[in-house]
Structure 1
Amino acid sequence: MKNNELVTINENTGFLQLADFNLDEAMASELDGLDMTFERIKIPSAGSTVFEVPGENPGEPDTVKEFSAVILYHHPLYAYYKDKYTGGSNPPDCGSFDGITGEGDPGGSCAKCPYNQFGSGENGSKACKNRRRIYVLREGEIFPLILSLPTGSLKEFSRYIKRLLSKGKKSNSVVTRFSLKKATNSSGITYSQAQFAVDRDLTADEYALISKLSEQVKAFSTRVGHDTEPAGEEVINVDPESGEITEPLK
């Protein structure tokens, strides 16, 4: 590898190119004083079944029906705005990166917060928006991307993680295939719902490298604020009693 290269990319070697890559060093040497965050994979609204993924040219994302990547790390992301969030870098009035303790106004226990109860928001939802932030790495790349799962995709993600755990696997030990399906709420409004499936298991060598990067991403994640989240939230209906997303019978 040349001295002026971060790492030599070879898309045919899986994730083994990570052997020559250190996220902490790359961030310190190349992004010192710059916006130290990650590019995002976007889930569209209105029931579209294609993702927007970063392309070769900034500002011109590619659209794909599915993609495969390793889940490096994931965590809850709660955000409560007294006034409706319209985008930008405005931090929430209260937010949480662990789904346990909120920081701000009102702050405190998320479980006991009245704004984190079903029925406190529109259509029976929560006034505090519960999302899941996922850091993923695609083959042939060395920098992680962020995928933010909205409320309507959380149940499917939870089911997927439980299926992996039932087989003794962690989410960063497999390559996951991500896709979208069109879902419809009880009011007839469509929204995009993420789907997950195992593409392949990582090799032992790949997993050792991915595990190291996962720890680096986990440590760095506390420095990524709420401003990378989309302004909109898909319109869904939620049963205030059960918290279930209500959809019409097919």
Structure 2
Amino acid sequence: MKKLMICFIGLSFFIHYSCSGGFEASEFAINLEYPDPDSNCEEGVPNDNTITIPFKWKPQGDIASFTLVINDDQIQITDFETDEEGFNIFNHDVNFNAAYEWQINSTQIDSEKRNFRTPIAEENNNNVPLAVFFNEQEFTPGTNSMDVKFEWEGGDLDNDGNLKYDAYWSPEEDISTTNNSGMSIDLTSPTVTFTILNFDPNKDYYLLVISKDGENSASSILKFRQF
């Protein structure tokens, strides 16, 4: 009778645990989709020095958080998309011409590990835009200000219509895109006018012009004063 009672209690405990929300490991899975095993990342999007890979996987079970592991580097996935087929997609930049091992981990289960290799970066045949030559400035006085018109000559040997200019001015010699007193960006013609308050005609000022074509750029600096 005691043996029968023990067996009954054990069976009741097993049934209770199985029905109380406990999961078997097989109920969770992370199925990797892309990059394929030994892939060359044909779906990757080249950048200047890196390539963006769309890592794809499909979870099985209620898995809320994921970590991308690449060559032992762990990247917490906080933002991903899900396509119509239910695959999660997370874009991440990696280097060209490199071998990687990757997997997707979660608190419940880890995926298998896969290998892939990124392609060699294509040669960039785009020419760097020409540094500009500045023409004489035009000064037009205002009330406690001076309008200064700048013109320059430049160009792009590719002549593909992508050439634009960013212009910055500053009273400081260490002018830059982050250290300036005014800017005008994405100019499509080689001219710009800045209004400088409390202009001192005997003081040196600086103009920075960046020629850009979407791939390369060239910078030119002009030191100017009225007198």
Same fold (TM over 0.5): no
TM-score norm. by structure 2 comes to 0.25
More strand by share: 2
Higher relative contact order (CA 8 A, sep 6+): 1
